[in-house]
Amino acid sequence: MFQIKKRDGLARIGILELPHGKVETPALMPVINPNMDFVSAEDMEEIGARMFITNSYIIMSTKGLKERAIEEGVHSIVGTERPIMTDSGAFQGHMYGKVMVENLDVVRFQRDIGVDIATILDIFSEPYFTREEAEDSVMETYRRGKEAVENFPELNLAGPVQGGVHEELRERSARLMSSLSFAIHPIGGVVPLMESYRFSDLVMVIISSKKGLNPSRPVHLFGAGHPMIFPLAALLGCDLFDSSSYAKYAYDGRMMFPWGTEKIENMEEFSCGCPVCSRYTPEEIRAMPDRERHRLLAMHNLYVSFSEIRKLREAIRKGTLWEMVEARARVRPELLDALRTIGRYSDYLERFEPRTRRSTFLYTGHESLKRPGIQRARRDAERIALEIPRKILPEAEHPYSRTYAEVLRKEKKRFAVNSPLGLVPVELDSTYPFGQSIFPKILDKETEEEMEKRERSALPPIPDEEFERDIEQVRTIARFQFGDGGANLLLRGKVSVVKSKKTGKIRNVMVDGEHILSLRAEDGMFTLKLKGGERLHKAKNLRYRVIISEGDEFIREGKNVFAKFVADMDERLRPADECIVVNEKDELLAVGQVILNREEALSFDKGVAVKVREGNKE
């Protein structure tokens, strides 16, 4: 039902297959209220809508509408043949205190009107709930979810995660709901947090929920309708959003932007380039009859919202979503607090962070250094820099080996550069992220103080040693990428290099005459050759391995490894890591690059887990 096509950490571009078509995620589902149809589904489709959400409780409770929905189907009511999800009335329970419907009745109604995804009647966990009250909502939601799954196994059901602002309860709720055969998992009870700009609490709620959820199921952030929240939520792994805000804000004369909300009564001209703002002035819209004004403001809000969704999808494709989130965080202090709160969960997020990216690391503030993938790279580089005595050099222009070429030629010493990214062995000057990073000339105070502290703790004079710099570079990159154990296995023997005649840079690494590794120019990391895989194959305890349950002959021919055939894999592997593929007899089948980490590969039934580079046909 769902597979990942592209990823950037927890954010993913996926394909969600539903009875009425496929939807690319992250996706925004506009809320359509059949009683308020001043913007049609057709208009929304032209702007970018590919899936919709409506409220089954409202349809069920509206005389005439209920009968029509049963007779004609929900798609006729909404006016589209695209996928439709329905809510169950839980939000109305939050708003009004109670809804006059039973769980199985509302799920049955959703089935009867032909929805693509039906939602159980969960219990909305209010932010002010005590732990005991929130726990009651979690357990009752689970009970209702279980009865719905058992009674309607044919339905694509949404199983909401509840638990208020209690971190442990959110994770427990997620694990309970994941144990049932739901199609997607909304994160519920978060609208009050977003309305009061409690974005740090929102970060906690999303991440604690993600920790307990099945990674193969899409995550829907219920009620997340403002574009300024989309990039942050997508970064944390939310795949679906819904918006009734476009209409609510329009009725209140408010216009949504990526940086916040503006009242049209306070605007003299538009800075937005959407069709509405390009055609009209604020004064012209203010002078319109209510219905037309509401419609145009709603259209503007939809244009802005779908534009932001497209931008964040493109950021995922390019590997620049962190930069987008950091830029958006500068528009509101509460978003900046949320960005900093993410650091509390660095160990969890790091498991999903790719080892390398196609994009350049752009420093936008001290928070950039707190990205989980950057912290991991800094730790690994500094470990190497400090294990063998090195002379410390000041930060300089990339590549360090060219800037300090004369120093490297004259002195037979190992060097590390005191960079904003930490102590970086000079041999890593072309390796991601150190060689693909851009910093401002004037750094923030925190980063400067860190660099000054390292400078004051400079090591004593280092004596000269005899070693070959090309081989030292190979060993350093291998240690950084594969760890000390992997580097020792790969480089045991007589090491030599093949250089590009055009650039003079290392291209291939030979050991005892065998081609073991190739160095990628774009990120300064190694690709693993089959002979290198044979060496890593000597490692034990699952190291570097992806184990498949079947399909040996296809993998040997160089076909990719699909997630449904993964029996196990090294939990230390990260997306974009090099790996070896073996069968359950531990026979080497291929070498390749990891797409999914272990918990993802073991949960998905669709999609590629390893991109195979070279099969072992022997």
- Residues recognised as catalytic: 87
Whole-angstrom distance, CA of residue 301 vs CA of residue 459: 58
Helix H segments across 330-371? 333-341, 346-350
Whole-angstrom distance, CA of residue 223 vs CA of residue 413: 59
- How many other C-beta atoms can be found within 10 angstroms of the C-beta atom of residue 293? 19
DSSP string for 145-158: HHHHHHH-TTS-EE
Whole-angstrom distance, CA of residue 115 vs CA of residue 427: 57
What torsion, rounded to 10 degrees, do the Cα atoms 196, 197, 203, 204 define? -40
Phi/psi at 615 (5° precision): -90, 155
Tokens 């790969």 label which residue? 490
Whole-angstrom distance, CA of residue 607 vs CA of residue 595: 9
- 19 contacts 116 by C-beta, under 8 angstroms: yes
DSSP string for 247-295: HHHHHTTEEEETTEEEEGGG-SS----SHHHHH--HHHHHTS-HHHHHH
21 forms beta bridges with 18
In eight-state DSSP terms, residue 461 is P
